[in-house]
Each structure stands twice: as C-alpha cells, then as structure tokens.
Structure 1
Amino acid sequence: MNWLRERTAAVLMGAAVGDALGGATEGFTPAVIEERYGGRVEGIVPPFYPDWQTRRPISPYHKGDGHVTDDTLMTQALVQVYAKRRRHLDAYDVDADLVPLIMEQVRWIPELERETVLLQRIFLAEKWLVLRLRYGHIDPREAGVGNTVNCGATMYMTPVGIVNAGDPAAAYAEAIDLAGAHQSSYGREAAGVFAAAVAAALTPGADVEDVIAAAIGVAHDGTRTAIEAVVAAARANAGASPQELQAALRDAVIPFDTVGPVYREPDADARRPSRTKAIEELPIALGFLVAHRGDYRASVLAAVNYGRDSDSIATMAGGIAAALGGIDAIPRAWVDGVAEGSRIDFDHYAQLLADAAEQIIADDRERANARLARLDLLAGAA
C-alpha cells in the first residue's frame, strides 16, 4: 500500500473512531461525564443513559457502544460523490449528488439500529441542504445562507483535505465552495480551514505545527483569532492536568463561542452569522492536538472528555492526528469496536476515496505541468 492510500484509510478511520467515542459524551460537561463513567472516558463506553430509547434529550439515538454519528455518515456520503465524479467538487455537486444520497440511499444507521435514509438521522442544519436545494431550487453556491451557523459542514470535510493532500490552499478553496451549499459565515469558514488542516497533515514529514501554520494561514476573521487564542492556551497549558487543560481551552474559546455555557440550552444569539465569532469545535480540536503533540489517543480522549460537541471535536482531532501518524496510531481495539458496533467496512470507503484521490492528483499534476509550460512561454515572450 502506498503512502497516500494508507493515509487515506487512516484519516477516514481516525475520524470515524473519534466520532464514535465522542458520541457517548456529547452535550455533557466534563464533571458530569466523569461522574457518569466513574472517571475519565478511556475508550468505547455504553450510552450515557441506559434508557436511551426514551430518555430526553437523547432519544431515540443509541449513542455510545461504538456507534458513529452523522459526522461519519455524511463523510461517507461525500466519499461516494468523489468516487462517482473522480474530480474536484463544487457546490453544484452537492446539489446533484450529495442531496440525492441523503434522501434516497438506504443505509445502516447505527444510532437508530435500523436501515433507513440518511435524512432520518441528520440534524436540522443538515436537512437545510434538502430544503434549500431540492425544494427551494436555490443557487447551490448561496444555499447555505440563512442556515443556523454551526459545524455541520466542517464535520464531513476530511475527504476534501485528502484529495488535496499537500495543498492546504487548494483544500480551503474547494471546501469553501462545497460548504457554500450548506453553511455561511464562520460555519463555512471552518469547513475550509479544517480541510486545509487535513491537507497540511497529509504532507510527508508534516507535524502538528505545520498543521497549525496552514490553518492560521488560510483562516479569516473570528475563526483565525479563535484558533490563535486556543492554540496559545494549549501551548501554555501543555503540561497541565487533563482537567486544567480542558478548562483553559474552554476559557480561551468563550469569547468566540455563541452557544453559551450550557450546550443544550443555547444563548439567544447562538449560531448567528458574525465576522468576529467562530464555531467551538475546530479551535478546540486543534488546541488538543497542539497540547498532545499530535498524538492520536491523547488528543481524541481529550476531545471525548471535553463534552459539549465532543463527537465533532473528536472527529476533527482524530482525522488530523491519523493523517499525521497513520493507521498504526489508532488503537486497534477502538477500530475493531467501531467497525463491529457500527457495521462499517473501513476498507470499502478507503478504497473508494483513495482511487478517486489518485486520479484527482494525477490530473492536478498534468494541469500543473501544462500551466508551467504556458508560464515559460509567457516569460519568454516578455
């Protein structure tokens, strides 16, 4: 297996495992998580509520037990679009290919423990895609305007980073275009920055500092300042206890977070467009990666025990850490537990995306060579 194919498998696997581990603790505080599980979560755990089928606000989702959430299911759908088109994608491909997969393709939904269409699982902010594109016939490049601003587009952008491996700027541009069909403002911006971070991590020899430099290099407005603030806090608290570290990162992101102190009771102005705010998930994921020097296990567990939107934070941290460390960085017991619990064939999606990525990169190289030849002619003519 060549390097790109191995890292493609690692990123998809690492993100999905992080998602599954973080699903069990989503929406809760670190203190409540420790009380429920008798200490910090160290791997796959059962649902927070044993009576999850009827317990609000969790029902009817079976979170925990190695079950992936909509983060992974949306990622898999985007992989299918890349496999079909075998080229770079834009917002029109979201309309033409991703939305039909959401509405029409029956698949196993682990949290529902049954087969159904993805539309039955995704959150309202993701159902916006269907409302605006299928029923509203909105220009796909503008369909994200008006949606609640959240991490919904960011959480499934790992494939964009993979097909743009080694080129963070190109990954950012492609993700910004794609995410325009889904999100606006800092929700769209985070999608571009996360894709750039994955692409940077997929540069042979890259380390976590290269990832941070790439993310800050493309980021704008509140997303950039939030990342800078959280990363600074992570560096200052790298030797602190897990509890002190997560508190320091939360304090650093508070000025940029619109959701407020109680995750399940958002503030009145939560998730509204802004030039100065940011989603919480991406800066926190990058902060944990910095504090733990890109280590997969430590970064993902930090995200899981942070609570709040822990599944998406662990998805992002897990995808980037796996890009840096490869498949061997992901604990095998977690991989096997998630594969069994969620009925996922990791090899299937890895092969689909790796095949597409190889074609896309080969085409990029051909275009780049042709461009260089034209530049040589232009320089000579001058």
Structure 2
Amino acid sequence: MTTTLATLTLDDRITGCLIGAAVGDALGGPVEGYSPEQIVERHGGRVHGIVGPWHGDAWRTARPLAPYHKGDGHITDDTLMTQALIRVYATVRDHLDAFSVADHLVPDLIAHPRWIPELEAEALPLQRVFLAEKWIVTRLHYGHNDPREAGVGNIVNCGAAMYMAPVGLVNAAHPTAAYAEAVDIASAHQSSYGREAAGVFAAAVSAACLPGATPASVVETALAVAKDGTQAAIEAVAEVAAEHSDFESALVPLRAAVAPFDTVGPDYRSPSLAARRPSRLHSIEELPIALGMVLVGGGDYRRTVLGAVNYGRDCDSIATMAGAVVGALHGASAVPVDWAKTVAEASRIDLHAPAAELAAVTREIFALDGERRRAHEAAFARLTRS
C-alpha cells in the first residue's frame, strides 16, 4: 500500500529530508559552476544520475576545482556542514543559537578529523569547507567576536542556508519557529540576504513536514516568512515555475526570473564587482531556484533534483535544498535507492544514523518545549487571575 503524505511519520520525513539533501548534493557536485550548455557539451546531454569528475582522471590538478574529487557519488561541504550541525544538536539536545555555533560547531570543524570524500582522505572539515565557512572559525575562534555579530562582513552567499535543513526538522510543522532559530544561528555566519535565506529555507523544510503539505504550500510558507529581495525573488521564480512541468523548458526562464535579484551575474565563475555584498534588494540564487524546481518537479524527487543539477551554477547547493524539501514532503522512499546506496558507499558515510539521531533529539526538544509552554501558561494564569 502506498504511504500517503498524511501518514508519514516524523522519522520518515527526517530521514527523507537528510538523505534527499545528501544525494542532491552529490549529484550536483561534479557539474557545479558550469552553465546548462556546458553541462550538455561535457556529458553529451543532460545529467540523469551520478557522474564522474568534470576533468576525469585529471581532477587532482585541473583548475578551477583541484584538489577536490567532485563526482562519483561524493558529497560536498553542503552535507559535511549539515552533519556537523546535527552533531551540535546531538550535543546540546535543545534549540540552538549563535553561541552554539561558537561553542560547538567551530570546535567540530577544527578539532575532529573526519573522512572527506572530495579529498579522499581523513582531514579536518575546516580543510574542505569554503572560505565563507572558514570565516566562522576566523571570527569566533581567533577573533573572539560576539557570535551574534560574527556574520557581518562575510561574503553574502548560500553558505549559511545550505546546511539549515536540521533546523527545519527540529522545528517540524512550526515554520515560524524554524525561521527564527535559523536566523539566530546564521547570525554567526552570514548577514543580509544570506542570513535571510537560511531562515526561509529552514521554514520551507519545516512546512514540508506538515501533514498534507504540497510543493505549493511549502512555497506559500516561504513567501509568508521571507523579507525584502528574498521574498521578491521567490515570488518571481514561483510565478515562472507554475508555467512548467518539465525542467528542460524551465531552465532558461527560471534563470531569467532570478537574474534581477542575483548579484553574481551571468558568468558564475567571474562574479560582478557587486557580487555577494549586503543588500535589501537582492537574494541568493540557490534558494528561489530550488523552490522553483520543487514546483516544476511537482514534488517528484528525481525530476526535481535533476532539474536542480542541470541548472548548473551553484547546483550542488540548489539540489541539496530541493532534495531536502522533497525528502521531507515524501519521506525516504522518495529518494532512489540506487542513488542513495552509491552516495553512501562512495562517500563512506552512514546516511541513516544522523537522521535517527536528529529524530530522537527532535522529540526531546519538543518535550522540553511542552514543559516550557506549560510553565508559561501557569505563570500567565496567575498573572491574569482576577
């Protein structure tokens, strides 16, 4: 019997979200940074699954990707950061804030060697993450900045948003709480529309966990919480996405819809002078496109993620976000088993253990929230007793 959206359990949604994000990440990695046209030329058509490195066996030395082995089912920093955040939740076992990043996430990045698939070696996660994530360590570990202000001055990109799925899951079915918690956490990492995207993505994941949720309801929730350029970008992309049910026809129109809000410019590898600077008028590209692909794909995992992958540009992060939302909507069965198996084996990671850990922590946090709510209600009753 087919499982319906209304009967999916919390554990199934968490598992689907996290596996869906990791598989999307791995599929998008080898074509990250290229245009749809370049992807077609390199692969003789659209990408339909897991592919090898862009430069083949020369990946160790080929620029601009060296020394990362992107492809063959390897996860990237999107999943490394997601799993690091899950470990913070497993340690704190309560809601997180910017100080949790300083107290727990930073030590995880700089003190605990882990297997890094793209390096094919055990190394500190700090040695793999991008400069925008290294900023966290610089500002908090070395600079001793106030965690709530540490994100100011960092490049404004998708770095904070890409790993916020766990926040949405901990706050499953409570999007406004997910938004607020992610905005707080991300203040240690980003500012402006990068921080805003983190909150909106967490809210989208939370909304996808609501019984009866659909791609349209997820986007409606994202629009309800989003501010400024992020809201405008999602609205523009969603309007165009509604006209398409096939990613092939949607690739160019979706890019045109988000272009006025994207600061990077038409050439992803040669950003404009105004790229990634704070602004109330702009948005990261990745989140609106991810939500657009969820609409185009109708919530189907394969169609949605392949659309995100073949979009190119920062497609590993786009596919991570899109895969997370669809996984939360439909559970673990939505993700192709062969893709998940290949990614787990190639990356030498257990895709199920972090999900089980986060599900347990989520239940503990919900119980704590209930206790806090009841204490507040009792106190308020005493205050208002006539």
Please report the TM-score for the alignment, with normalisation by the length of structure 2.
Answer: 0.96
CA apart distance, 1:38: 1.3
Q: Among 281, 287, 291, which residue is 1:282 paired with? A: 287
Instruction: Name the counterpart of 1:173.
Output: 180
| Between 369-378 and 198-207, the greater mean CA deviation after superposition | 369-378
CA apart distance, 1:343: 0.5
| Between 285-294 and 319-328, the greater mean CA deviation after superposition | 285-294
Instruction: Name the counterpart of 1:203.
Output: 210
Amino acid at match of 1:104: A
Instruction: Name the counterpart of 2:3.
Output: none
Q: Among 217, 226, 234, which residue is 1:227 paired with? A: 234
Give me the identity figure in percent: 60
C-alpha separation between the residues in 2 aligned to 1:263 and 1:218? Answer: 28
| Between 320-329 and 355-364, the greater mean CA deviation after superposition | 355-364
**Which structure 2 residues correspond to residues 13-52 of structure 1 after superposition, within 5 A?**
13-50=19-56, 51-52=58-59
C-alpha separation between the residues in 1 aligned to 2:139 and 2:344? Answer: 34
Contact 2:247–2:296 (CA under 8 A) maintained in structure 1: no
Instruction: Name the counterpart of 1:105.
Output: 112
**Cα deviation per residue 1:49-97 (whole Å; 9 max; x = unaligned)?**
1111111001100001000000000001000000001000000010000
Instruction: Name the counterpart of 2:298.
Output: 293
C-alpha separation between the residues in 2 aligned to 1:86 and 1:327? Answer: 24
CA apart distance, 1:149: 0.4
Instruction: Name the counterpart of 2:143.
Output: 136
CA apart distance, 1:380: 4.8
CA apart distance, 1:373: 4.0
SS in 1 for 2:52: coil
**Which structure 2 residues correspond to residues 1-382 of structure 1 after superposition, within 5 A?**
3-50=9-56, 51-236=58-243, 238-239=244-245, 241-377=246-382, 380-381=385-386
C-alpha separation between the residues in 2 aligned to 1:2 and 1:283? Answer: 26
CA apart distance, 1:376: 4.7
Contact 2:215–2:298 (CA under 8 A) maintained in structure 1: yes
C-alpha separation between the residues in 2 aligned to 1:62 and 1:218? Answer: 37
C-alpha separation between the residues in 2 aligned to 1:38 and 1:364? Answer: 53
CA apart distance, 1:292: 1.6
C-alpha separation between the residues in 1 aligned to 2:110 and 2:78? Answer: 16
How well do the aligned residues superpose, as a CA RMSD in angstroms? Answer: 1.3
Aligned pair count reads: 379
**Cα deviation per residue 1:279-319 (whole Å; 9 max; x = unaligned)?**
00000000011112211111100000000000000000000
CA apart distance, 1:2: 8.0
C-alpha separation between the residues in 1 aligned to 2:348 and 2:116? Answer: 9
C-alpha separation between the residues in 2 aligned to 1:255 and 1:281? Answer: 14
| Between 147-156 and 6-15, the greater mean CA deviation after superposition | 6-15
CA apart distance, 1:377: 4.8
Structure 2, unaligned stretches of length 5 or more?
1-6
C-alpha separation between the residues in 2 aligned to 1:249 and 1:158? Answer: 23
Structure 1, unaligned stretches of length 5 or more?
none
CA apart distance, 1:234: 0.3
C-alpha separation between the residues in 1 aligned to 2:51 and 2:353? Answer: 26
Amino acid at match of 2:147: P
Instruction: Name the counterpart of 2:4.
Output: none
Contact 2:8–2:330 (CA under 8 A) maintained in structure 1: no
Please report the TM-score for the alignment, with normalisation by the length of structure 1.
Answer: 0.97
**Cα deviation per residue 1:147-178 (whole Å; 9 max; x = unaligned)?**
00000000000100010001000000000000
Contact 2:247–2:303 (CA under 8 A) maintained in structure 1: no
